[in-house]
Amino acid sequence: MSKLVAPHGGKGLVCALLHGSELEAEKTKAAGLKQINVSARAKGDLIMMGIGGFSPLSGFMGKADWKGVCDSFQMADGTFWPVPITLDVAQADADAIKLGDEIALVADGGIMATMKVTEKYAMSDADKRWECEKVFRGEGEESQGDTFWKIAEEDHPGVIMVMNQKDVNIAGPVKVLSQGEYPTEYKGVYLTPAETRAMFEERGWANVAALQLRNPMHRSHEFLAKIAIEVCDGVLIHSLIGNLKAGDIPADTRVKAIEILIENYFVKDNVINAGYPLDMRYAGPREGLLHATFRQNYGVNNMLIGRDHAGVGDFYGLFEAQDIFNKIPNTGDTGKDLQCKPMKIDWTFYCHKCDGMASLRTCNHGKEDRVILSGTKLRKALSEGAEIVDHFGRNEVLDHLKLYYASLTEKVEVKMQGAASGDSM
């Protein structure tokens, strides 16, 4: 019997991906169905539903689930879920679809899945704004009062994404036909929940932590991972390999940077480098909860949550993504409640006087003695060709990243917020 945490939802891994003759038959049927083009975000959601990463979801959410998730972190049946997983379509497409119809969902020119439409519900601008208020608004200075809407519609990528959605959501179960480009382009790194669970079992791991990454690993990330390795059986370094916002470093460059770091500075038996196929939703603390929810499906029971986890600008408090774990519902039903717990780490940095990595819990020296580390700060320095402060990252990794930036023909401005600059310390 497995010692790993059970998949979320109490139903085991719920996998909508078809195989063999069933897959071929569904592909043939799909070719004759009405085709709906879906966003890159929905493509990633479909793949996660296919491989069990979004267990217990078997399709896109109806209105009751959407409302419950936004309002109280729970689907209609009481199962915890922190961020809506919905599919938007244009009004004309919605009008042409009858309840009970099967449709084909298309991304990048290929059919990703079929879907039986069980519900349609309009999303007015007021509905979208309500979703944004619930999901994206935080406790930081840019979320206060009227400031949120003055800034968010131009500068918050998650809010922009939702407000630009089409006018109708459709819901229903899906049958997934493809994992897209991920199995080939990221072979050995793109892993399904069944594969990571098998790897953990083979290594004898029962207590597993995950480190979420959308930036290359700097010294603070390395420190977090090593703290977890000391108290857990092993760590899954789990990188987003879907789409990011302009100015973020592409997945293949980040994956290689992690490989370089593991090769030179980790005991390989205690760490696994993997990727998952989602786009960032930029939902701050709510996204931290989503990270923990689907990591549970991968077999992880501890989610590393540091300073400004999944932060955007100054919309969120520095440790709001830690605090939100104390605010989520607990029904007492282990199947419906979140079982992946936060591993909360204070602000980390390199301290010259300590002569090593430290945190606000362990170092009593002044700000002038500390090298403040953040992915945004690193990307800004690299994009501007600025000198990288000593002890910010490992030289082997920085050399790899400098080659990437040297290859760019067009630079993207990287905005610096208080949380990344260290001004908030």
Token output for 145:
């009062």
pLDDT of residue 315: 97
The closest alpha carbon to 175, from 358, 17, 60, belongs to 17
Rounded average pLDDT over 129-148: 97
Provide the pLDDT for residue 359.
93
Between CA 88 and CA 60 the distance in angstroms is: 10
The average confidence (pLDDT) of the chain is 93
Mean pLDDT of 356-369: 94
Which two three-digit tokens encode residue 295? 């990591």
Say what the pLDDT of residue 373 is: 72
In the chain, the domains with their CATH numbers are 20-180 (3.10.400.10), 189-421 (3.40.50.620)
Return d(Cα 105, Cα 176) in angstroms, integer.
Answer: 9
Enzyme catalytic residues: 214-215
Q: Which residue has the higher pLDDT, 379 or 395?
A: 395
* Burial label, 80 (beta-carbon count in 10 A; 0-12, 13-18, 19+): buried
Residue 411 confidence class, pLDDT cut points 50, 70, 90: low
3-state SS assignment for residue 339: coil
Higher pLDDT: 373 or 330? It is: 330
Q: What is the structure's pLDDT at 233?
A: 98
Q: Confidence band (pLDDT; 50, 70, 90) for 404?
A: confident
Q: Band the pLDDT of 299: cuts 50, 70, 90.
A: very high
336, two tokens = 């419906």
Indicate whether 87 pLDDT > 90: yes
Measure Cα distances from 71 to 59, 80, 202, 279, 320 in Å.
20, 12, 40, 23, 18
Half-sphere exposure of 425 toward its Cβ, with a 13 Å CA cutoff? 21
Q: CB 312: neighbour CB atoms within 10 A? A: 25
Region 306-318 average pLDDT: 91
Q: Which ranges of 204-302 does DSSP label H, i.e. alpha helix?
A: 219-231, 251-265, 285-297
Mean pLDDT of 217-241: 94
The token duo for 109 is 């020119």
Least confident of 29-33, 390-394, 411-415: 411-415
**CA pair distance 322, 300, nearest whole angstrom:** 17
Task: Decide: helix, strand or coil at residue 165.
Answer: coil
| Listed range (142-151, 157-166, 275-284, 400-409) with the worst mean pLDDT | 400-409
Report the alpha-carbon distance of residue 205 to residue 4 in Å, rounded. 8
Q: Is the pLDDT of residue 294 over 80?
A: yes
Give the H or E element holding residue 323: helix 320-323
Map 359-390 to HEC letters.
ECCCCCCCHHHEEECCHHHHHHHHHCCCCCCC
Q: Would residue 223 be called left, alpha or beta, if left means φ above 0 and alpha means ψ between -120 and 50 degrees?
A: alpha
Q: Is the pLDDT of residue 116 over 60?
A: yes
DSSP 249: P
Q: Reduced to 3 DSSP states, what percent helix, strand and coil does the chain have, rounded to the nearest 5? A: 40, 20, 45
Q: Choose among 62, 65, 86, 61: nearest CA to 75.
A: 65
DSSP, collapsed to helix, strand or coil, labels residue 56 as coil
**Alpha helix ranges (H) inside 122-236:** 125-135, 147-155, 157-163, 182-185, 193-203, 219-231
User: pLDDT per residue over 39-63, tens digit each?
Assistant: 999 999 999 999 999 999 999 999 9
What is d(CA 234, CA 237) in angstroms, rounded to the nearest whole number? 10
